[in-house]
Structure 1
Amino acid sequence: MSQELAAPLPRLTVVTLGVSDIRASIAFYDALGFSRRLKATGEAVAFYDAGGPVLALYPWDQLAADATLQDAPRPSTFRGMTLAWNCRTREEVDAVLAFAIRKGASLLKAAHETDYGGYSGYFTDPDGHPWEVVVAPGIEVGEDRRVHLAD
């Protein structure tokens, strides 16, 4: 008699970004204020508390090898993925974008009213990973700085 195994609980635990220059990327994410954890890993890999899932930085070529994917050619265009920094207000969106630019990000798209009633803009990190900075209806950022979704 075989027992059916229960389906695992799905969850996103870590987002790992492949980076060209680990030192520069560590300096950038430190400057943005992300809290680095497990510093004993040195420059082999960097882990950051991202308020829920972990943000990890790993050398691009090693990440590709680990996933058994080709390292080249590296995309210079949209990769089909963005990261998001949800905010509580439009003013916070503007402040986060300005702060990121001062810390070395590149402005991709200035903050603007969205067609769904939100307000957002985009910046890229030193490796071109796009970040949306956004306030959106139905997505609340709580006192704990975590995102809470409406039912």
Structure 2
Amino acid sequence: MEQRVSLITLAVEDLAAVRRFWLDGMGWSPFVEAEGEVLMLEVADRVLLSLWDADHFRAEVGPTVQGEGNIPITLAHNVRSPQEVDAVLEQARAVGARSVTDGQHREWGGYSGYFVDPAGFAWEVAWAPGEVGDRVLGPPS
């Protein structure tokens, strides 16, 4: 098996709300969309984020588990500066993120904050100096 991820699929209870958040609010574009079933977004070269209606997800994959607290996964959106972290967090807040944790300087040397999208998934918005930042964004120009 090759070391790569091609598709990240998240089951969402309210696909219409998630669509409004990402497309109308955050300005992302759909790659594939089947109304009421799935919304796929190209998030990297040859990588898709699939937001799949939870009922369709359960029909194919099986039961899902839900409970109190945050879903134990984060997705990250890396940016080129701490100021850009703050701008993206503010945009998420303005378009209806469930919660937003302001950016902070972190022990590991970077700067990040979090927002929770309408489906309940936590997104880290981060500026990472050095090797990690260069790897995910390319070297500074």
Highest Rg: 1 or 2? Answer: 1
- Once the two structures are TM-superposed, the CA of residue 34 in structure 1 deviates from its matched residue by 1.7
1:16 to 9, 15, 37: 9
Q: What is the aligned partner in structure 2 of residue 76 from structure 1?
A: 68
Greater relative contact order (CA < 8 Å, ≥ 6 in sequence) = 2
User: 2:88 aligned with 1:96, yes or no?
Assistant: yes
C-alpha separation in 1, matches of 2:35 and 2:93 = 26
More displaced stretch, 122-131 vs 43-52:
43-52
User: 2:38 aligned with 1:48, yes or no?
Assistant: no
C-alpha separation in 1, matches of 2:67 and 2:9 = 16
Corresponding residue SS for 2:30: strand
Q: What is the aligned partner in structure 1 of residue 101 from structure 2?
A: 109
Aligned structure 1 segments of 4 or more residues deviating by more than 4 angstroms: none
User: 2:17 aligned with 1:27, yes or no?
Assistant: no
Whether the 8 Å CA contact 2:37–2:56 is kept in 1: the answer is: no
Fraction of identical pairs, as percent? 32
The unaligned stretches of length 5 or more in structure 1 are 1-7
1:57 to 51, 57, 76: 51
Residues 53-77 of structure 1: CA distance to partner in whole angstroms, max 9, x if unpaired?
Answer: 2111111232133222x23x52332
The unaligned stretches of length 5 or more in structure 2 are none
Q: What is the aligned partner in structure 1 of residue 137 from structure 2?
A: 147
Structure with bigger helix share is 2
Q: What is the aligned partner in structure 2 of residue 3 from structure 1?
A: none
Q: What is the aligned partner in structure 2 of residue 38 from structure 1?
A: 32
